[in-house]
Amino acid sequence: MLFDCYRPYLRRTTTATPPRSPASTLTAIGDDFDVNTDTTFALCSADMNALADESQCLNDNIINAAQQLLTRQYTSVSGLKDTVLVAASACDVMLESDITVNAVQVVHDNGKQHWLCVTNKHCSAGHLRIYCSLQMTPSVQCLATIANLFRMQSPSLTVDIMNVVRQRGAVDCGLFAIAYADILARDQHPCNVNLDQLQMRRHLIRCLAAKHITPFPVTKFRTIRRHVVRSVVVSLYCVCRSTHSSGEKMLQCDQCREWFHQRCVAISDEMFEHLARTTANYSCPRCTGVNNVDHEQLGAGNSDQ
């Protein structure tokens, strides 16, 4: 049986971020910048100017520099992967069975041009929490990116949109996403703080200069009853445990009834058309076992596309 879906096409693509500057260094803006070159922590002057400009959203380089610092400071926290690779589904996936520590990741929603923070912290199997400063439901494209990264074995993925204090305006979402990641890494709850938005940009500039992330300033702490604004459930399929996108060819195994992406089970277009035209049965690699397919590798290979 074949499956041609009408849902909006989830395009796996890189962000529109321009290529990074080669061999760039942290460049001084003002007097409080450390101009020492750190090859593991490279930001060019354009990045720092963009960060200082209150009318601009944070770019991938800034987000990744902050995530690098958090990775250094909190060795027990996993995730914090390069956001460009995450958006392209080109980084190592985090298998649910392998995540022995809590994972935190800043993700760019290309569909909504918005940064958010996702974690499996305090989540049961098949669940993730999203801390979004606009409390938005991620685009279908972003949900696919998240599903690709957190490789769940459950039939579906449930994401809870958390009840954080909403930001003013639309350009500071990256600052909030980093602040949420920092709060989660500190084992605290982003819902319980009212971040001081006016101070956040300057605070991050100081942290990057000092190469150490300190807690973002808050105007007050709060206690709330409702922690989840809404939950979104997406179905997961195939050996890659990802979503289905509109226009993407899928086929169902006649034995286990699971759906598979054509590209993940190495079915040629000719064979796909043959199966579509005839009553021939299809058995997935898992059921036949003849291909000796390593499902995890196949999934990881798929993520490289």
Residues that bind Zn ion (CB under 5 A): 238, 240, 253, 255-256, 261, 264, 284, 287
CB 174 within 8 A of CB 146: no
Of residues 13 and 49, the one with the C-beta less far from Zn ion: 13
Provide the strand spans (E) within the chain: 2-3, 78-79, 94-95, 103-109, 114-119, 127-131, 150-151, 156-162, 193-195, 218-221, 228-235, 250-252, 259-261
Of residues 214 and 283, the one with the C-beta less far from Zn ion: 283
Of residues 143 and 179, the one with the C-beta less far from Zn ion: 143
Instruction: Identify any residues that bridge with 202 across adjacent strands, giving them in sequence order.
Output: none
Sign of CA dihedral 209, 214, 220, 225: positive
Q: How far is the CB of 96 from Zn ion (least distance, A)?
A: 16
Sign of CA dihedral 77, 57, 16, 114: positive
Q: How far is the CB of 299 from Zn ion (least distance, A)?
A: 7
CB 153 within 8 A of CB 98: no
Q: How far is the CB of 79 from Zn ion (least distance, A)?
A: 22
Q: How far is the CB of 6 from Zn ion (least distance, A)?
A: 19
Torsion angle defined by CA atoms of residues 175, 179, 181 and 183, in that order, rounded to the nearest 10 degrees: -170
Q: How far is the CB of 99 from Zn ion (least distance, A)?
A: 20
Of residues 190 and 299, the one with the C-beta less far from Zn ion: 299
- Please name which of 261, 272, 243, 247 lies closest in space to residue 298, comparing C-alpha atoms: 261
CB 191 within 8 A of CB 161: no
Of residues 215 and 301, the one with the C-beta less far from Zn ion: 301
Of residues 95 and 287, the one with the C-beta less far from Zn ion: 287
The residue behind tokens 């200082």 is 52
Q: How far is the CB of 89 from Zn ion (least distance, A)?
A: 11
- 206's enclosing H/E stretch is helix 197-210
